[in-house]
Structure formats: structure tokens, C-alpha cells
Structure 1
Amino acid sequence: MSSVVFAPDSLKGSISAADAAAALASGWASVRPDDDVVLRPMADGGEGTLDAFAAAVPGSQRMPVTVTGPDDASTDAAWLLLPPTPDAPAGTAVVELASTSGIELLGDRRLPWTAQTRGFGEAVAAALDHGVSRLVLGIGSSASTDGGVGLLTALGARFADADGRPVASGAEGLADIASIDLSQLRPVPAGGALVLSDVTHPLLGPGGAAAVFGPQKGLEPADIAAVDAGLARLAALLGGADPSTPGAGAAGGTGFALLAWGARLVPGSAEVAELIGLPHAVATASVVVTGEGSFDGQSAAGKAPAHVAALAAATGVRVALVAGRIAADADTSAFAASVSLTDLAGSAESALADPARWLRAAGEHLARSL
């Protein structure tokens, strides 16, 4: 009997990491029912981070919360309470920006000037109200470029214009910030706040939040300089962190706001892997299967499949890749086998229409071929 670990990331906008792992395992088990299957769904701080922890940590509890979404609409979400540990005797809260202030909540809409991170901050505040010892914050999939002003506002900070009035939400309010009052800002919990991100971009400049990620959120090329200047104004007034720190530009500058608050930024995939016990699971496995939605030339830079492959390589375990699509520029040399759902289904449209079906088919294929 072999032990097979299934550790995919989510196929963004299609299926969660937990459901992807379950579908792959189901397909594998239909061919090799005697194998021991271990589900360790992965995440890098974006969509699916809560699901990854919930699937991997026994005794975790979803804590419902209603927050202000990126478009100011009331949004039902949840944060995850992990059981107490010696380092976090009152438990750890996992809070995900994607499900509270994420771009997926907008559907096909883009609100480049008004989208904001207040809902993420409200979920963090709810976890603090519960009395947790530690925070783990996933900040991928942001809808906004507000520099984390919404987040900090929900935690008690006040951002005012020259007349002392609260500035507008979102990127449009950045240029009007004249003063910042942090006297009521809630402190980081005793066990600290760990920020998960797969982004290493600084806050400002041509490699910063506005220039690199703003267009994905609807900013026009002519808007980028103005938003970058607004973020620079925020950084100068807020202080507390270096805007050139790798990851400060994550989530539209939310990374910088969290650094200024006192949180610590870490590579998302590596930290999630440690927290869910993936290194031990891989070390005792015969085969590991990982994956994501689109595996391309950028996937080696901090994405979950690359980290899983590195863990497997370090222990001499075979690793396979399953992806919604595998781009022509992708390097799959680290994998003993690779499967594209688009190729299996015959088209991207068919794969997206029923991802669980084709993930099961991929699991069957790998069980026969490995």
C-alpha cells in the first residue's frame, strides 16, 4: 500500500483547493482503492486559504461574520479559529482577504477608485474581539488599491483630510489624507500577526502596487501615477514601515499597512505548508500530487506547486502536477508527470464547466501511469 498526498492550490474562480484535493483523491482511489490518501490542500495567502487550514487542522471552527465588502455591500464571510497551542493558548485566527475584500466578490465589475479593504479589517477585528492569541492573515486576491486604509480604519485608525473630515474610501481618498490618528488603533495580539503573500513587490514605483496590480483592478494607464502618488503620501504620513520592503505592495498596499501595524510578512506557500504539516506528510509519502489553475512561466516564483515540488525533491518523493492549463513557457521538469485539464476535457470551456469531473479523471490517469 502506498501513501499518496494530494496538495493542490485552488483553481482560481473554478474550484477550491479542498474540493480539488478531494476530487483528485477520488479519481485515484477508483483505480487504487488500497492506497492511503492524505489531503493537504494548499494556498499561498489568496483564495482558498481558509479552506486549506480547515481541511488540514483538526478541531478548526469557522466563525461567521458579516462585513463590508469591497463595493460597500454587506457580505457574509467567516474567519477560522484554530485550536489552542502552547504558542497560542487562546487559539489562532486565520483571516482571508479574498473572502472579505477580494476581487472575486465583484464578479465582472472593477471599482479601481472606490474598492476598499474595510471588510478585511472588520473580520480581523472580530477575531480580536474573540480574544485569539495570534493572527494568520492571507492577503491575496485583493479588489482594491487603497493602501490598507480600509483595513486600518476598521481597526481604529482615523484618516482625515485638511478639514478634519474622513477621507473617501478606496484609492480616491489617498490624495486627500492630511492627518492620521492612530491613538485608537487596536494592537497586534500577543502572539503576533503573520501575513501570507506570494507577492514580493514594493509599495511604490514601476514595480509597485499601482503599476503592477492596478490594471488588474481596473486602473487605466493614465491613473497609475496619481494612485502611486497617493500611496507615497500615505506611506510618508503613516510611517512605521519601509515602503521598499518586499511584499509591501501586496494587495494594493495592504502589505505595507500590515507592516506598519506590526505584522510580519512571510512567503505564503512555505508558511501554509508548515502550518498544515505538509513537510511531514510529503516525507512519508510515496507520491505527491499538486496543482493550480494556470501553470506558467511565473509559477516557479512562490506559487504552491513549486513549493510542493521542492519539498518532494528534498525527500526523493515523486511529484505530479495537475493544472487547469499548462502554458507553453512552463517548466514541468520537476514533475514525474503532468496533466492539463484543458487537454483532458478538450477545451478550456469544458474544463471550467465541470472542474471536479476532470480532476477526478486526472486522478485516475495519474493512478494508472505513476
Structure 2
Amino acid sequence: MRVLFAPDSFGGTLTAVEATQAMAEGWRRRAPHDDLVLAPMSDGGPGFVDTLHASLGGRLVAAPVSDQYGGETSAAVLVVDDTAYVEAAQACGLDLSPRREPEVATTYGVGQLIIVAIEEGVSRLVVGLGGSGTNDAGAGCLAALGGTAEPPDALTGGPRALATLSAVDVGGAQERMADVAVVIATDVDNPLLGLRGATNVYGTQKGLAEERKQLVDAHLAKLAELTDRRVADRKGAGAAGGLGFALMLLGGQRVEGVRMVSEALGLAQLARQADLVVTGEGAFDFSSRSGKVPYGVAQIAGEAIRPCIALAGQVLIGSREMRTLGVESAYSVVDLVGERAAFADPRGTLSDLAERVASTWSR
């Protein structure tokens, strides 16, 4: 029997690569003769580059860059043939710092990372968005790539600095990116502004107080009015605190992160060659339908007419909702060992769950 493992990361406990390995280790203990295919997945958020490197190979280019608060952090660009892959979360990810001050957080380091990618001479750049701790509409990224403003530091101090913005010119950044096709990989389809925009929908999880949202949204609107207000309304412009907006100003085209990674990995072909597809994530709930990995993988399994099951830290939906997502059955680590044990040993307990599930599905 051939089993394809294609999970996402498990929150802050396991990367997608680690989760895939843990599942495979447990499955082998119960079904050592099964043929296991490992294809860790991502939707463009944290782990995007590591996931692609694990499956595609390629060359990692180390790139020390600024994090969202101006400190130095280690990042890497993945180069595969004439394509470079950049993970925005490596430069401005929420998990890079315990600080939660989105009003002064900047995406400048993402621009630095993009420069490293361009200098590799690639013709195509894929930027994975997700898991950011910023909400500056990509202003810092624009500045790093050559955008200018009045006053000069208005683009580099987070949304609070945008309050002082009186003029902006992104021509230098656009010229720098002119010879590169930019792909924005994200599961987020929110616009930049308004009730469904970056600030109102994602500001709270980044530490933005409710009473500050209207003002911060107005700061982002000022940048949009001085560049191209129409771009702010596009799907995905609000991704990564508006970083999607900045990349769209530079010619970027949004694609669903899960679909992009699936195509890069040839997941559809792998699913057709498998007898069973196993996906998973930290918390499997109905929000998984919103561009998340399990739903994307289940769709691909369905197209291949292959059953798909999910292993998760927690399963928070019933069987009826599960099947609307295309998942036959879902299994929870917490239900197996309890929450305390699950967090104490995430890899070992996920492996134990996979071993138990193999007794049901392996033949």
C-alpha cells in the first residue's frame, strides 16, 4: 500500500517537515511494508521555504536581514533553477519576537530578502505570505527596494510613521523589480482596507488594540491614496499586514499558497499514485476551508479519487463538516493522550497517533 503524507505545520510545535516525519515514523511501526511518500506542505506562511527545499532540493542562500523591530535575524532564499522562493515570515514573522507592537513594526527586512533573491539572477520570484507580525502595508519593503517618501523615514517606521506621509514614489522599487515575475503565495484573500482589511481582521492577533484599529487603517489608507487606491481593493492585498498590497504595486500576482506549493511538488500526480492521502495541522476546524493546507490537499485527493484522512493536534469539527471538506476521518492527538502530554512531546505523540491510525487504514 502506498501512503502519501502531506501535512502543514502544527502551530508553533512542529514544522511541516517534522510533522511529516513523525507521521511516517509512527505509521512504519505498525505497517513496515507500506510505501510511504513524504510531501510536507505549506500555504505560504512559516515553513514555506523549508517545505519546498525538502521536496524540491535547490540551493539555500543565507541572508541576515532586519526583523520587524530592526534587530538582525537569519533568513534564507531558496533558489531552484530560475525561481527564487522567499518566506516573508523569516523577516517579519510574529514568532520572531515576543514584542507585540505592530504600530512600529516594519517589513523592511522582507525587502532586503527580496534583494538577495534578485541578485541571484532569477527571472521568477515567489514570495510566501503568512504569519507576519507587521501591519505596515508593505511600506518598509517598498523602502528597502528603492521607494522614497516625504518625510524620508515615513515608510520605515511601521503604520505609525505613515501618519506623517505626504508623498511617496515607488518608481525606484518598480524599476528594481522590472525584470522579475513576482508571484504572491498566500491563503489570505482580504483587501487592504475596511472591515475585511488587514487591520480589522488580523490586527488583534498581532497585538493591536481594538480602539487603535480605525486610526491605523486610516494610516494605511493614506499610503494607498498616494500610490494606487485600486490595488488596495484586490484580493490578497491585505495579506501579511498589507505586504500583499506592496508586492501588487510592484507587479505581483496572487495565487493560492496551497495550490502553488501543490503544483511545485507535483502533489496531484503523487496523489494519483497513492492508495491513501494523509494530511493534517495543529487545529483542524471549519476555518480549514479558508485556503488552509488540509482542505487543499483533500481537494487534490478527491480529484484523484483517493481517500483523504487528517491527523491533527485537535479536531474541532464533527464528521458531517469534515466530509464537506473532503476528509473521510480526522484523528486528534489531544483525544489520544490529553493536552498536557500532546504539548510536552508533540513529535512523539503525533507519531503514536499515526501508529494507531495505521492499524485502521493500512491493508
For 1:182, give the aligned amino acid.
V
- Counterpart pick for 2:78 among 73, 77, 80: 80
- For the 8 Å contact 1:134–1:189, the answer to whether it is kept is no
The Cα of 1:165 is off from its aligned counterpart by 5.4
Shift of 1:167: 4.9
User: What is the aligned partner in structure 1 of residue 283 from structure 2?
Assistant: 294
Query: 2:356 aligned with 1:365, yes or no?
Result: yes
Q: Within 5 Å, which residues of 2 pair with 1:279-290? A: 279-290=268-279
- The aligned residue for residue 96 of structure 2 is 105
- Distance in 2 between the 1:178 and 1:358 partners? 55
The offset of 1:154, in angstroms, is 1.1
Q: Is residue 43 of structure 1 aligned with residue 31 of structure 2?
A: no
What stretches of structure 2 of length at least 5 have no aligned partner? none
Whole-Å separation in 2 of the counterparts to 1:33 and 1:191? 46
Q: 2:205 aligns with which of 216, 234, 251?
A: 216
Deviation of 1:240 after TM superposition, in Å, equals: 7.6
1:61 aligns with 2:59: yes
Tell me, what secondary structure is at the counterpart of 2:231?
coil
**Aligned equivalents of 2:133, 2:269: Cα separation in 1:** 35
Q: Deviations over 1:323-365 (max 9, x none)?
A: 1111146822232331111112211x32122111012112211
| Residue aligned with 1:299, SS | helix
Deviation at 1:191, TM superposition (A): 5.0
Deviation at 1:159, TM superposition (A): 2.3
> Would the aligned equivalents of 2:106 and 2:136 in 1 still touch at CA under 8 Å?
yes
Q: Aligned partner of 1:252: which letter?
A: G
Quick check: 1:179 aligned with 2:167? yes
Distance 1:239 1:260, change over 3 A: same
Paired residues, what number?
A: 357
SS at match of 1:137: strand
1:190-249 CA-partner distances (Å, limit 9, x unpaired): 451111111111111111111111111111111111111111110111128521111111
| Structure 1 stretch displaced more, 60-69 or 358-367 | 358-367
Alignment of 1:307-318 (within 5 A): 307-318=296-307
Q: 2:143, 2:155 within 8 Å by CA — same for their partners in 1? A: no
- In structure 2, the partner of 1:147 is 137
Cα RMSD, aligned residues only: 1.6
| Counterpart residue identity of residue 157, structure 1 | G
Aligned counterpart in structure 2 of residue 229 of structure 1, from 201, 218, 224: 218
Mean Cα displacement is larger for which, 238-247 or 218-227?
Answer: 238-247
- Indicate if the aligned counterparts of 1:240 and 1:259 stay in contact, CA closer than 8 A: no
Q: Measured at CA, do residues 167 and 37 of structure 1 come closer, stay the same or move farther in structure 2, by a change above 3 Å?
A: closer
Structure 1 unaligned residues grouped into runs of 5+: 85-90
Whether the aligned pair in 1 keeps the contact of 2:66 and 2:72 (CA below 8 Å) is: yes
Deviation at 1:255, TM superposition (A): 0.7
TM-score by structure 1 length?
Answer: 0.93
- Hey, what does 1:87 align to over in structure 2? none
Instruction: Name the aligned partner's letter for residue 36 of structure 1.
Output: D
Which structure 1 residue ranges, 4+ long, deviate > 6 Å from structure 2?
A: none
The answer on whether the counterparts of 2:140 and 2:155 sit within 8 Å (CA) in structure 1 is: no
Shift of 1:187: 3.2
Secondary structure of the 1:67 match is strand
Question: Which digits, 9 at most, give the CA deviation of each residue in 1:164-201, with x for residues without a partner?
Answer: 55455111111211111234224336451111111111
How far apart, CA to CA, are the structure 1 residues paired with 2:205 and 2:246? 20
Greater CA drift, 125-134 or 185-194: 185-194
The 1-side partners of 2:233 and 2:136 are apart by 17
Of all paired residues, the percent bearing the same amino acid is 38
Counterpart of 1:350 in structure 2 is 341
Query: Partner letter of residue 79 of structure 1?
Result: V
Matching residue's letter, 2:14: I
| 1:16 alignment partner in structure 2 | 15
CA deviations 1:88-127 (Å, max 9, x no partner) are xxx21110011111101013x2012111111111111111
Aligned to 1:277: 266
Do the aligned residues in 2 keep the contact of 1:12 with 1:47 (CA within 8 Å)? Answer: no
Q: Is the 8 A contact 2:154 2:162 kept in 1?
A: no
- 2-side partners of 1:329 and 1:213: how far apart? 27
